[in-house]
Amino acid sequence: MGKKFPEGFLWGTAISSFQAEMGRGEPSNKTDWWAWVHDPGNIEEGIVSGHNPLNGPGFWELYADDFRLLREELSNNAIRLSIDWGRLFPKPTDDIHVPVKLDKYGHVYDVEISEEVLRELEKRVVQSSVKRYREIFAEAKKQDIVLMLTLFHWPIPLWLHDPIKCKTDLEHAERRGWLDNKTIIEFTKFAAYVAYRFGDLVDLYCTINEPRIISEHGYLSSWSEFPPGLYDPELYLIVMRNLAIAHGLSYEQVKKWDKTSFSDLGPCTIGLVPVLQVFAPYDPEDQRDVDMARLVDYAFNEWGLNAVFHGDYDMNLDYIIEPEEQKPYTVKGCDYLGINYYSRWKIKYEEKSDKPLANFKLMPCEGDCTDYGWEIYPEGIREVLNWAYKRYRRPVYITENGIADDKGDTRNRYLLSHVEALHQTIYEDKVPLKGYFHWTLMDNFEWSDGYKIHFGLFRVDQETKKRLPTKTVEVYRKIASSNSN
């Protein structure tokens, strides 16, 4: 006999637009990610796989069948999916004037959006994309599936970010993505528009998926895998700061323009989705590893949440918030935390530069590892949930958790052990965990690795688009249908 989860617990899967939509129907080819994965230089350097997102699972056309799989095969009651900014606004919207306030450092803290601005956006939006998203969301409603909508799961319209120019010549680049105020302002407009146009069909929102991965993989990764493939700890913090500001401003606009959505947590519920990982010293006896693991944990897990919840922007990473690092006026709210949890990483000190955040190496996984080389560490899901809830005091969801498992041999064990840890988190630690979304429904475009990596509960035949269940479908169905592990 399994142990029961709370009544009303959400059991779902998560997908994202760029990864899952293409493969059938209209492509989304006006974003930085599209440019990034097609760039011949990136392909030649091996930064990206060379795979084409056009061979994806085709959710854009096949969504109704996928919702049926979710309902009938998995007994799930929820889906987390994202809306593609570049599909709605492939052309500039920055000539639509909005009053903006900057602080004395030149950072945006207020964007005013009027009904007139929304009417102007309505004239510019690609109506066929609006229509299709409304059909997708309405289908979820019809099939009685709770819809959690992510506003930003990574691709930026090309008119705001030219990742290849930024990679090769940042100094002269004009479209610099999250490095610039302009992207923050345009994202705020986009968020207001989504709330205004789709609020009647949404149950919960999340603003930004994994700010830290956007920033780290794009600006602090020695293998340059994400756009724009730069390496500079200072840029990492600037992007983290801008994403925290963008969270606040978009939160405020969604609250203003959505008058209809409702979740178990109340009207118009909006959260943020950080990825939290456990960072441990490689050698606990070596003080340099201990200190470095602490710094990585601070910069990667904690920094962005301190910014969103307290307006603390520790730009020199000295653990002290100087007056010029305080921006309480950027704190607008966050109704819940959606936590993505995958793994634990061991950190080794390695001197590389005079910038402290550069001086580490993520050690390769030893022991229980996935196809991706990520450690399987189910205790970690409990650790990060406790940490996040006890520190920031918001209800929590697991918005992603899953495993790259080509053969499908390990996924059952991974799922069961993590779900067991969730039960302990709720009943022993008293953490208000409201739902669990497995990453992911079906194999999809795994960013720079394309189709090499398989996180899906269903495999996908690239030609026929047929979904083929892995062994975990039955296991997850039992959990979700009995609401117990």
User: Considering the rule CB under 6 A, would residue 109 count as an interface residue with ligand BGC?
Assistant: no
Among 79, 98, 249, 275, binds ligand BGC (CB under 6 A): 275
Among 400, 433, 457, 472, binds ligand BGC (CB under 6 A): 400
Residue with Cβ nearer ligand BGC (159 or 437): 437
Nearest-approach distance from CB 228 to ligand BGC, in angstroms: 18
Cα torsion 166, 171, 174, 175: sign: positive
Question: Number of C-alpha atoms within 13 angstroms, CB side, residue 409?
Answer: 6
Question: Tokens in use for 113?
Answer: 């959006």
Distance CA 361, CA 363 (A): 6
Q: What angle do CA 6, 434, 372 make, to 5 degrees?
A: 115
Nearest-approach distance from CB 305 to ligand BGC, in angstroms: 17
Residue with Cβ nearer ligand BGC (462 or 484): 462
400 is catalytic: yes
Are 395 and 435 within 8 A, CB to CB? no
Start-to-end C-alpha separation, the chain = 8
Distance CA 207, CA 249 (A): 10
Binding pattern for the stretch 302-331 against ligand BGC, x by CB under 6 A and - elsewhere = ------------------------------
168 cis-preceded (ω within 30 degrees of 0):
no
Residue with Cβ nearer ligand BGC (93 or 448): 448
DSSP code per residue over 46-91: TSS----GGGS--HHHHHHHHHHIIIIIT---EEEEE--HHHH--S
Nearest-approach distance from CB 210 to ligand BGC, in angstroms: 5
Interface with ligand BGC: number of residues (CB under 6 A):
11
Among 196, 439, 458, 476, binds ligand BGC (CB under 6 A): 439
Stretch that binds ligand BGC, among 55-63, 141-149, 209-217, 242-250 (CB under 6 A): 209-217
Nearest-approach distance from CB 300 to ligand BGC, in angstroms: 12
Q: Of residues 21, 120, 400, 446, which has the active-site annotation?
A: 400
Q: Of residues 210, 216, 302, 375, which has the active-site annotation?
A: 210
Looking at residue 209, its amino acid is: N
Are 473 and 412 within 8 A, CB to CB? no
Among 42, 129, 209, 370, binds ligand BGC (CB under 6 A): 209
Task: Name residues whose C-beta falls within 8 Å of residue 449's C-beta, 6 or more positions apart in sequence.
Answer: 49
- For the segment 339-358, give every residue that binds ligand BGC (CB under 6 A): 340
Catalytic residue list: 210, 400
Binding site for ligand BGC (CB under 6 A): 16, 19, 209-210, 213, 275, 340, 400, 439, 446, 455
